[in-house]
Structure 1
Amino acid sequence: MKKFLCIVLFISVAIACKSTSAVSTKLDNKTERILKGNFTMTAVDFPGSDFLNVTSFYIADSKCFVGSDWSFVSNNNKGEMALTSLSTSCKEFSSPITWYLNKDGKFVLKIINDYKAKEVNNGFVLDIINVTESSFQLVDQINVAGQTKDITYSFQRK
């Protein structure tokens, strides 16, 4: 009987200590279908944006993303993003992406570049707000002088 209780206790502890993922992978397919298509990033807004430089997605200054083209394919959660040089201080950049929307209202993004998606171990988890058939916004959090502030990326359907 003691062995049986020990085994039950061990299994209970093992189940209770099961690790959980920090990001839900359950999909919000309805919203994903709304995002299917081609979009242009029309604005990047955050407190102090006139005075501060923020590197977005570890790629370039946030201002360089204004005018960037993004495509989202909802049936396989792939797409592409491309920065076109509107300024001499901005470099051109393009990359395949993978993305999905989870049931927690988070937009999960991986910039693949020259790798396979499964080889990319980091990505971005952003809030998605104001979703319509023609536009949406992604919101990330940044550290500005020791304070957490929102940076908002606005997209418009092409």
Structure 2
Amino acid sequence: MMFEENPPSSYLTRAAHSEDSQETITAISHVLRDQEDTQLVPADDSESFAAPGDLPANPTSPQQRLAKLKLLMTQQKAEYESKIARLEQRNRELQWEIRDTQWQLGQQRQRHRLAEMKIRNAERAKEDAERRNEMLQKEMEEFFETFGEINGWK
């Protein structure tokens, strides 16, 4: 029989922080590979291993299943953290895009107000010009009526 100095549980009980998650995955992979290569499976929580003939009908032990599940959880955690990071980055990009769009909308509204003011000013100027033209027309008619009468006296 073979005894390991560091049983698989010592690798699996470490906290899997983001900085050592790859180390945890590697350690679990090595333990699983070693167990599969040697075909030795822990019989209980002790550090002794049962021979392949002593194994139950199920070829994977609870420790192996636990190690595989922990490996899977570590991989999923890394995937989810990566997805979260990408979503947070996309969220920041969209927030900047929203701010930019809102700024552009504000600029567009300001240009629209200026254009409306110019249109109103142009309409007022046109109305003023039409009134002046009407007054000039009346003054000219009065002048010619007066001038015509003066010419008629000569």
Q: Higher strand share goes to which structure?
A: 1
Please give the TM-score of this superposition, normalised by the length of structure 1: 0.19
Q: Which has the larger radius of gyration?
A: 2
Q: Higher helix share goes to which structure?
A: 2
Q: Which has the higher contact order (CA 8 A, sep 6+)?
A: 1
